[in-house]
Structures are given as C-alpha cells and as structure tokens.
Amino acid sequence: MPSFHLQDLLVQAAAKFPERTFLFQDEAVITYEQAAFKVDQIASGMLARGVRAGDRVLLVMENRVELPLLTLAATRIGAVFSVLTAQIMLESFQRIVGQCEPALVVIEARRPELRDGLQAAVVWLDGVPEEHAINDHSYEALEQGERTEIPPSDGGDALAFLVFTSGSTGMPRGVMLSHANVGFVTKAIMQRLNYQETDRLALLLPMSFDYGFYQIFYALMSGCAVFIGRSEMSGPELPRILARHEITIVPGVPTLFAGLIKMQSYRPVPLPHLRLLTNTGDHLPLPHIRQLQQLFPAARVFPMYGLTECKRVSILLPEEIDAHENSVGRALDGTEVWAESPEGQQLAPGEVGEFIVSGPNVGLGYWRAPEETAKRYRSLANGSRLLVTGDYGAVDAEGFLHFHARSDFMIKHRGHRMSPVEIEEAACRSPLITAAGCIKDETKNTLCLFLACHGDQPDDAALFAELAQHLERAKLPDRLIYLAELPRTANQKVDRKALRALLTQEA
C-alpha cells in the first residue's frame, strides 16, 4: 500500500468536488479545482526560488486564503512548513529562524522588521517594500509563475510540518508531525465529527494554532467550504457573521463559546444552519455546554481533548454527554490512552495519574531537541511511540477519559493539590459568569479567581455561597477579581500568565 502524502487530500478533493467552494474570504472565492491549480503554480514558484524537499518554509501571517495554498504547495514539493502568527515577537521569531534555518519565509508587509538578518528567500504579501525590491519577491510572482514539473516527494513518516509551542524553559520548540500522523488523525477525527460536503465552516481560530489549521485537512477530506475569518470576529458581530455566511460548523475554544452565549442570551440572532460546535484547547465547562444546547437545540456539541504532540486524544459524542458529563470522551479509534502512576505503572480504572497516549497520532518528537523529546516521547521496540502527556486524569472502566489538569496548571494550596478547571467550572455554573480563570498568588498565598460577567457584577457573598455548594472548603477562592474580559492567548485561550502579571502589577 502506498504511503499517505498530504497532497493526496487535495488531489482527491479536486477530483471529487471540483466546482465546490473550498475557501472564501471577503470577495475571494476559491474552488477545490482552482486550489489544486494554484498550489501547483505556487509549488513551481518555490522550486524556482531554490526550495527543495526537506527544506523549511516559514509562513508569518494572519488568516487569509493564501495561507492554506502556501502550506499545501510546500508539502507538494516535500518541504516542511510552519505557520507563525503575524503578532509574533521579533525575539521569538529570530529564535525559531535560528532553530529551523528556513529556505523560504513569507511575511506580511506590515511586519518589515522581521526581514532583518534573514538569509532565506523572502516572499512578501501586500507588496514588496521598496528597499527589498531587488532581492525579494511578491506573492503574486510566486503564484502566477509558470508551472513546472514537480518531482514526487516522500510521504508516510517523512516530516510534513512543525508546530512551534513554548517549551518548559519558555524557548520555542517545534513539534514534528509526519504525513502519516496527519493522514491517520484526520480520518479518525472525521469518523467522530462527520463533516459533510454541504457544510460551511467558520475558521475564526488562528491557523498558527494547530486546531485552527487542521480544519483545512478536514475540509479537504469532506468537501466542505471554509470561511477564512479572524479572531477579532469572535466579538459582538459573531452571530451576524455566522448568519450572513450560513455557517454550519464552528470550531472554537471556551472563550469564543462564552462570548457567543453572552451575545445570544441578550440579542439573539437566528442561526438555523448551525449544526456542529467543537471545542478543544481548554476545558469547556459543563454549564456552557448546557447553555449551548439550549440556545442551539439543532446543533451538536463535541467536547474534545488533545495536545499538539498528538493532535487529538479523545472526543465525547453529543449523545454521550448526559451519561458522561464530566468526561472528555473516549480515545480515537486505533489509539489507546491510560493513566500511569509516578512509578510508571498503568493504573486501574478510575485512578488518577498521568495520561499516556499510544497510536499513529503520536508525533515524531521535537525539532532538534533530543533531551525534551526523550522526556515526552518513548520509543518502543516495535518502532511505535508513546506520548507522556504531562496531563493528569483518570480512565474509567468504559474507556472514558476524565481530565483533571495540565501539570503546568496544577495548584497546591492549603495543603491540597487541586485543578483550576474544577474551580473555574464551579464559577461558570452561575448564569452571570461568562468566563473564569483561577491562579494562585504565591507571594500572598491566596487563591484568586478572575471572572468576566454577562452584565452587572454579582454579589460576592452570593457567589461564594454558590461556589461552596460545589467545592470543598479548601478549594474556595480567597479573592474574586472582576474584569470586563479575561486576557487571551494568541490561540484564544484564557491567558493565565497575563492573569499572574495583573497580580504582579498590583504589588
């Protein structure tokens, strides 16, 4: 059997859905057939600029229709791509460049400072700055060049792309994912979610966030249309945007869904086409799941759990929520997950330990970081790999995972080790609370709960009493701190580092 190559998804989609819309944004509409043609042109342009199989291609930009085409073109010639947010700090960008030594970098014109010191070929979006007009290239020249014969490239276990995350030291580290990883996990996820060719998906999450980018692979497999949106669209205009484009699928994170609940609760907009809401990246509180079900009775809500290092770990089906409301679902078909003790022993059902993942979804390790790779990945004699997640929870007798917390977020307070997720979920039971973030102020030894509200700030005594109904005494916060909106990371998750910085500013 020939090995899977990412290009297979586009070739098959173009043959099966040639005239269907693949990508749309503003006035731009690209069909699957047009996308296949453009990808070949861009791939030819990359070859003409010296990019070869195995070379790295960095794409620094916000969500736009050109981005999926550039990534697919890179894989077409066997290059290894990585998508970075256009908001990336110069220092972080330079560290990533130093690590992966790219052959080609694509930059938006509004970030000219990223050009300094680059030894790679550079392609500009939105116009080449005058001072670089001689040596650099425009995206239009890349896309409109003459198509040439493209040599076949390796698939299977060959490296397809890098996803850069922050390591334990704060240094960027590139998670290595192969063509085979993507092929397996895309098919396994679609077996649960079942996107349809008639679907219209709103991609509001940044494609620098792997959960956002993988939506392109799901579209290629299903033939659905992808609206290329931006994170700022998750604000007050979100319901109208979803209605205008007749969106059927919204992949999101808890902050996005909390905002949608708030807006629909006060000024509802009819969204009759909405049928799938998927969540990962952070814990979606059960009260928010229930509110989404009430607001959108025709839509199915899929809580999911995953890590960049293996993409997806588990998915909870909508029909399983009532019986397993505190679970993040069962492991993907063809994979296995168990909880392990600190001594490395597999624990019995229901016992809490560190999650270990086994299956073809487990990535290849970290780019040029053998020590970190050895900490998180185990290689077995049969050639397969295990992922040591650093996340804690339990697997019950039916195979449902019960997530407790990521190791980085666990809090030790009043002699108890606790998960902030449990405290945040208890807060979100209040109909007045739209989002919660719990951290510990180590300098004052206090447990702080940051809250965003629907409207008026609730009475503290009443909220404490409500929390006491769901939390042990040791887990009750010492302080309630109200913000108009909780700070978010570039991936739209609650930014706990920013919350700690707020406490530091107080001091």
Q: What is the DSSP string of 282-305?
A: S---HHHHHHHHHH-TTSEEEEEE
- Give the mean pLDDT of 337-346: 96
* 160 and 51 housed in the same domain: yes
Residue 417 and residue 103: Cα distance in Å, rounded? 47
* 336 and 380 housed in the same domain: yes
Q: Which residues contact 158 (CB under 8 A, 6 or more apart)?
A: 78, 178, 179
* 420 and 500 housed in the same domain: yes
Q: Which of 115, 146, 143, 117 is closest to 128 using CA atoms? A: 115
Which of 41-45, 242-246, 427-431 comes out lowest in average pLDDT? 427-431
* 480 and 354 housed in the same domain: no
Domain of 75?
Answer: 32-176
Per-residue pLDDT tens digits for 469-494: 888 787 889 999 999 888 888 777 88
* 43 and 135 housed in the same domain: yes
* 398 and 420 housed in the same domain: no
Residue 124 and residue 138: Cα distance in Å, rounded? 5
Report yes or no on 256 lying in a domain: no
* Radius of gyration for the chain, computed over Cα atoms and rounded to the nearest angstrom: 23
For helices 66-76 and 32-48, the axis angle rounded to 10 degrees is 60
CB 105 within 8 A of CB 137: no
- CATH number of the domain at 437, please: 3.30.300.30
Report yes or no on 155 lying in a domain: yes
Rounded-to-10 torsion of CA 363, 368, 372, 378: 40
List helix spans (H) across 314-390: 370-376
Report yes or no on 380 lying in a domain: yes
* 355 and 437 housed in the same domain: no
In our burial notation (b when 16+ CB lie closer than 10 A, e otherwise), range 353-389 reads bbbbbbbbbbbbbbbebeebbeebbeeeeeeebbbbb
Residue 249 and residue 7: Cα distance in Å, rounded? 24
C-alpha distances in angstroms, 22 versus 42, 173, 241, 287, 383?
17, 31, 18, 34, 37
Report yes or no on 280 lying in a domain: no
Residue 286 and residue 326: Cα distance in Å, rounded? 7
Residue 5 and residue 352: Cα distance in Å, rounded? 38
Report yes or no on 232 lying in a domain: no
Give the count of domains, the chain.
3
- What φ, ψ does residue 141 adopt, rounded to 5°? -65, -35
CB 216 within 8 A of CB 32: no
- CATH number of the domain at 119, please: 3.40.50.980
Residue 190 and residue 312: Cα distance in Å, rounded? 11
CB 72 within 8 A of CB 6: yes
Mean pLDDT of the chain: 92
Residues facing residue 436 across a β-bridge: 451
Report yes or no on 226 lying in a domain: no
Which residue would you say has higher pLDDT here, 502 or 70? 70
Which DSSP string corresponds to 172-213? EEEEEEEHHHHHHHHHHHHHHH---TT-EEEE-S-TTSHHHH
Report yes or no on 130 lying in a domain: yes
Per-residue pLDDT tens digits for 353-387: 999 999 999 999 999 999 999 999 998 878 789 99
* 353 and 434 housed in the same domain: no
* 63 and 153 housed in the same domain: yes
Per-residue model confidence (pLDDT) at position 416: 66
Per-residue model confidence (pLDDT) at position 2: 64
* 357 and 481 housed in the same domain: no
Q: Which of 484, 474, 479, 470 is closest to 430 using CA atoms? A: 470
Per-residue model confidence (pLDDT) at position 243: 97
* 377 and 432 housed in the same domain: no
Percent of the chain past pLDDT 90, that is, above it, reads: 69
Per-residue model confidence (pLDDT) at position 1: 47
Residue with tokens 């003409």: 48
β-pairing, 329-331 vs 400-406, is antiparallel
pTM, two decimal places:
0.86
* 57 and 167 housed in the same domain: yes
